[in-house]
Amino acid sequence: MHKRDLRDDDWNPVGGDPALNYGNTVEIDEGVVDVEWLHSYVDVVYFTVSSGLLAPDDADSLNDALRFASGAEHEQLFEQALHLRHTIRQIFAAHAQGEKPSPLDVVELGKWLAQAGQLRKLGLKDGDAQWIWRDQGNLLAPLYRIAWAAAELLTGDHVDQVRQCEAGDCDLLFVDVTRNHSRRWCSMDDCGNRAKARRHYERVKKKKQSAGSG
């Protein structure tokens, strides 16, 4: 397994949606974890900030609180974070494959929403009505924000455009917002270019074979 750091320039959130990007923090090849981007709950907090789901000031207060949490609390929080990630991956991978998500996964996501919903209220900001979070200081706030983002995608207009990279060794998820919905790769700079190179190699190989047989 390759351990990577979200703070490195190599992290490329290709999903087009925070929930899919969270699911993409692990890369699995043939059922085995190939790349892992999350190594502690602090990484989860960092993800929510970099994704715009959590304000930096809120993250600072959470990280301060985490310093006083026990090792067991850290372990439990991280285990919950990984379980939520698995649920999100399962739900949207099913959509990407044209299937219905597992009812158990939907129920699991619903449990997070039930908790998160108690920490949101409708209020006014600059004269406009909007949902306002009241989870400041709650160590589960990052997971509430991620779960809510997943629910918004799941019930929104773009859920039918969720795709999974067609490269055989890549399972990253993304929203295909191209005009004709023809996007096949997580990134043209990565899997797209590798596929292009393979096609070129096969064409050259066939030409050589044809020339040799002639």
User: Would you say residue 32 has pLDDT above 50?
Assistant: yes
Model confidence at 64: pLDDT above 60: yes
Task: Please give the pLDDT value at position 29.
Answer: 81
Alpha helix ranges (H) inside the chain: 18-23, 41-50, 56-67, 71-96, 103-117, 141-154, 193-213
Using the Cα atoms of residue 12, residue 14, residue 16 and residue 17 in order, give the sign of their dihedral.
negative
For residues 160-184, average pLDDT: 89
Cα separation, 52 vs 90, in Å, equals: 23
**Average model confidence (pLDDT) across the chain:** 88
pLDDT > 70? residue 211 = no
Q: Are 155 and 141 in contact (CB under 8 A)?
A: no
- 126 pLDDT band, cuts 50/70/90, is confident
**pLDDT confidence of residue 194:** 56
Using the predicted structure, report yes or no on whether residue 205 has a pLDDT greater than 80.
no
Are 64 and 101 within 8 A, CB to CB? no
Question: Stretch 188-196: mean pLDDT, rounded?
Answer: 59
State yes or no: pLDDT of 151 exceeds 50. Answer: yes
Domain 2-181 belongs in CATH node 1.10.3300.10: yes
Of 91-100, 118-127, 204-213, which gets the smallest average pLDDT? 204-213
Region of poorest pLDDT, from 57-66, 80-89, 152-161, 178-187: 178-187
Is the pLDDT at 200 greater than 80, yes or no? no
Number of other residues whose CB lies within 10 A of the CB of residue 128: 7
Residue 180 clears pLDDT 90, i.e. is over it: no
Once rounded to an integer, what is the mean pLDDT over residues 118-145? 91
What's the pLDDT score for residue 28? 87
- Model pLDDT, residue 75: 97
Average pLDDT over residues 23-50: 93
Q: Is 114 left (phi over 0), alpha (psi -120 to 50) or beta?
A: alpha
Report pLDDT for 186. 86
How much is the pLDDT for 162? 96
State residue 210's pLDDT score.
56
d(CA 148, CA 139): 16
